[in-house]
Amino acid sequence: MDYQFAQHLEGHGSVATDVGGKASSLDRLVADGFPVPRATVITARAYHAFVREAGLEPFLKELQHGPLPPADQIAAEQSRVEAEFLRAPISPELADEIMAVAGEFLPAGPIAIRSSATAEDMVNASFAGQYETFLGIKTADEALVAVRRCWASLWSPQVRVYRRRENIDEDGLAMAVIVQAMADASWAGVMFTRDPQGSALDMKVEAVPGLGDDLVSGRVTPHGFVIHRSTLAIRGRGERAKLDFLEDLARLGLRIENRAGAPQDIEWAMTRQGLKILQARPITVSRPLAVHDDGFDTRAAGDDEYTPRGVSEMLPGVVSPLLWSINAPMLEDAFRSLFSAIGVSSVGAGRRLVGRFRGRATLNLSALREAAASLPGGSGEEVERQYLGHVLEHESDYELPASTAGPIARMMAAFRNWQANRLLADEVELIKHAVHGVVHLDIDLRQLPAGRLLRYRSRIRDLAWRIYATEVASSSAAASAYRALEVQVARWLGDEEGVRWAQRLTAGTLAESSVGAGRVNQLRDIYDRHVVDTPALQASLIRGGPHPRESIESLGRSGLSFLDEVDHCVRAFGAQAIYAGRTWNEDMVGVWSQLSAFARTTERPADGSEDSLAELVALLKGSPRWRFKRVITGQLIDMRLRMLRRMTEEATLYLRCREEAKSSLLVLGGAERRVIFEMADRLVASGHLAVANDIELYSDGEVEQMVRGAEPVFGQELERRRRAFMRARDAGPLPEVFRGDPDTADHGDIPTGPVMQGWAASPGIVRARARVLTSLAAGTELEPGEIIVAHSTDPSWTPLFLVAGGIVLEEGGPLSHAAIVAREFGLPAVLNVSDATQAIVTGEELIVDGTTGEVRRIELEDKHE
């Protein structure tokens, strides 16, 4: 039947000014193939004709320009407006057409009459729930009354208040009305594709049994569910923790969001025919994200303090959504596994131990303090010393948590630690063999169907979870053993000497196992075999700059043999600094920097740990206090020397375990990186990705869903993530410690004096010019012998250490990458120098004393003299 004032919603296109925002949205859903109950709309033309023929214009002008009613007269005003629309005359032609439309639906059962205003579901104003909806209409006469009441709701006092508050022009407003088959619902409700009050990574669903009008009216309390957008993991409350259709509903919602290009507020119903979408509109009430928050940052709550120290080497820089969603859960689990192993299972319950702010990784310092204090003999002060390199200055009324355990509890805790640590070396060996087996599998990923590719990735990931736990456990054991060695030596020689001798006793023992130095030595062996006696290769490395491959290839067989071995070696290195992150063979600049540095020097770091131990023993034996203590205790065999040697061996063992676990994790990360590349290539081919690199902007779960055929996130969201990533990178490092929003933290004054004090990380003195580096990429500007001044480093910076003359960093502790590699290479290094990158400028001459921790600025010293 052809209508003058009605239009079927069949997905053929409709204009919001004619059918209203809600009906226009439904028509788009129909066009896109979504399950929408059959519907026809009484258009805005019908409303205009009714108002004109009934002579309601003067009444509406009065409402438009008159004062709003006081709060206690809202109900009376609403009744007055509705009465005007109900008693106004309506032409027989219009009335008959409305009842005819209703008559098309009524034989199948009751119908729904829904308002669809031309000023509805806009970007900044939704009018959600303010216009009338009538359910269960059973006759054509009831339908006509319901349509007139929907028209009246355009001018209800509540709506007029809302329009004036939002500065919405009321000229030309109209109301269309949707006539729709009633959904025979077993469950109904609303779904927000982004939780308006919660995490941007979650969806929110509210559901009630039967019709959804009970939810809208507030007559019943809904069952609430939060669904993670990437994994579709469901958390719920109420009598039923999970409904079997929720996952399908979530996927449907994400598809609607993607087509609409914005987060959606969706009304839905579960019927015998399956899920039905009753309406969808943009979400207009959501918590704004910071300009550098891509939706994956932590929402800090309470008074917990966070620090990037101690985690920025594991998850360096601004971590992309993909790498964060892969690594953060594994690191969180690793810390909790460690806590459980040493008897601290309750600390941090309900709180994240690993956070992300401005795209950068952090640790929950408050939770770590509590964990330490719950251990016999532990304290929050020791945690600050380990992670920050010093104890913070707290307010006078603040007391750091500390253990109050007695001697028996301390003994039991020591036994638990011994149990947790004694198998670490064996675990590391097992991990190394397992990783070797994985990376040497000859699998052509291109030939794997999607399901098998994802299962292969799961096998790799399962091993990565285990390695993360081993690395964190090894790091904890190494820190404890290293600190015990410092304290033991300090008992006889003082605190400063304790620090210095702990460095010396462990220096040179990690040349093969440390992540950075071990890789350097593998390349050095290749260099020694191919380049030392081949002047042409040496010249190509020195003159070839960051890209000498073409020059080396031109040398013929000797060059090609050298390149083959380098390429094979580099492929085995895996990821540069973060699991599943960039690999060494993605960007060979660092590798060529290492090899060209070998061509400029012939020195290798020496293992001096045994000589250092012998020197320390001689020093102690010559001490009158040491000899006196042995005499009065009657020791025939000096057990203190045995203990000192055992403590040195233990610290070295756990340091090696940590480095080897880290190295294994990065090697395995290279295998997962290959899977990521394969998935990216497939998603580009399928049209899910415009370019392969965009995969970094998706979460791990989103990538998996796309590989399985799901829709990608909508384009605007992807661009927002890209802009947030760039802004986070430009915002620079996080404060040392902060609570809540890091942007509000007090950064303090930039030092201007001639001497800057830090932590003495590697002994020696060097005088040279500074090179301030804000990123690894800037390292190509580093000249031989210059002093690196940076915020922090990670294993990918190791090639620069071969070129540098000294190291000055704003972050780092005794077991940080910079400290270990500097000691291995014999570079003077001072860490924890506050605001060094802000105070020092490139080209400025410095004296770096890695023994005392002083950084002297020559030009400023001259001015002060």
Residue 530 lies in a domain: yes
Confidence of residue 387 (pLDDT cuts 50, 70, 90): low
**Residues 306 and 275 grouped into a single domain:** no
Q: Which of 600, 625, 650 is the C-terminal boundary of a domain?
A: 600
In terms of pLDDT, which residue wins out, 258 or 609? 258
Whether residue 162 is found in the same domain as residue 203: no
Q: What is the pLDDT of residues 575-592, one digit of tens each?
A: 999 999 999 888 888 888
Token pair in block for residue 334: 């690793």
Confidence of residue 405 (pLDDT cuts 50, 70, 90): very low
473 compared with 612, residue with greater pLDDT: 473
First to last CA, the chain: 99
Binning pLDDT at 50, 70 and 90, where does residue 780 land?
Answer: confident
Average pLDDT of the segment spanning 522-550: 87
Averaged over 762-776, what is the pLDDT?
92
H/E/C letters for each residue in 487-501? HHHHHHHCHHHHHHH
Pick from 149, 181, 213: which residue ends a domain? 181
Q: What are phi and psi of 555, to 5 degrees?
A: -80, -5
Res 220: pLDDT: 59
Report residue 217's pLDDT band, with 50, 70 and 90 as the boundaries: very low
Tell me the sheet residues that pair with 830: 760, 808
Answer yes or no: is 478 within a domain: no
Whether 811 maps to a domain, the answer reads yes
Instruction: Find the mean pLDDT for residues 74-103.
Output: 93
Contacts of 618 (CB under 8 A, 6+ apart): none
Residue 376 has pLDDT above 70, yes or no: no
Could you tell me if residue 122 is inside a domain?
yes
Q: d(Cα 853, Cα 495) in Å, to the nearest integer?
A: 14
Distance, in Å, from the CA atom of 56 to the CA atom of 59, rounded to the nearest integer, reads 5
Question: Would residue 582 count as lying in a domain?
Answer: yes
Q: What predicted TM-score, i.e. pTM, was given to this entire model?
A: 0.70
531, 569: one domain: yes
Q: pLDDT value at position 350?
A: 65
Q: Per residue in 34-48, pLDDT tens?
A: 999 999 999 999 999
**Is the same domain home to 108 and 55?**
yes
pLDDT digits (tens, 9 = 90+) for 482-516: 888 988 888 888 888 888 888 888 876 665 556 66
Residue 502 domain-assigned?
A: no
State the pLDDT confidence band at 168, using cuts at 50, 70 and 90: confident
Of 505, 433, 419, 417, nearest in space to 466 by CA:
433
User: Residues 778, 829: one domain?
Assistant: yes
pLDDT at 413 over 50: no
Ramachandran quadrant class, 109 (left: phi over 0; alpha: psi -120 to 50; beta: rest) = left
Residues 225 and 310 in one domain: no
- CATH number of the domain encompassing residue 855: 3.50.30.10
Residues 49 and 109 in one domain: yes
Q: Are residues 75 and 147 in the same domain?
A: yes
The reply to whether 681 falls in a domain is: no
pLDDT number for residue 98: 95
Mean pLDDT computed over every residue of the chain:
84
What percent of the chain is predicted at pLDDT more than 90? Answer: 38
Mean pLDDT value across residues 543-550: 84
If one counts the domains in the chain, the total is 5
249 and 350, same domain (yes or no) = no
Domain that holds residue 834: 755-864
Q: Once rounded to an integer, what is the mean pLDDT over residues 138-156? A: 94
Higher model confidence: residue 410 or residue 483? 483
Q: Do 122 and 22 belong together in one domain?
A: yes
Selection from 1-5, 337-341, 601-605, 679-683 with the highest mean pLDDT? 679-683
Q: Which of 531, 509, 542 is nearest to 523 (CA)?
A: 531
- pLDDT band of residue 394 (cuts 50, 70, 90) is low
**CATH classification at residue 172:** 3.30.1490.20
Q: Is residue 278 part of a domain?
A: yes
152 shares its domain with 206: no
What are phi and psi for residue 638, nearest 5 degrees?
Answer: -75, 95
Q: Which of 16-25, 655-664, 670-679 has the highest mean pLDDT?
A: 670-679
pLDDT at 70: 81
The least confident of 285-299, 582-596, 696-710 is: 285-299
- How high is the pLDDT of residue 294? 76
Contacts of 668 (CB under 8 A, 6+ apart): 435, 438, 439, 460, 463, 464, 467, 574, 579
DSSP 402: B
Domain boundary among the residues 166, 181, 196 is at: 181
pLDDT surpasses 70 at 767:
yes
Same domain, 67 and 151: yes
CATH of the domain at 214: 3.30.470.20
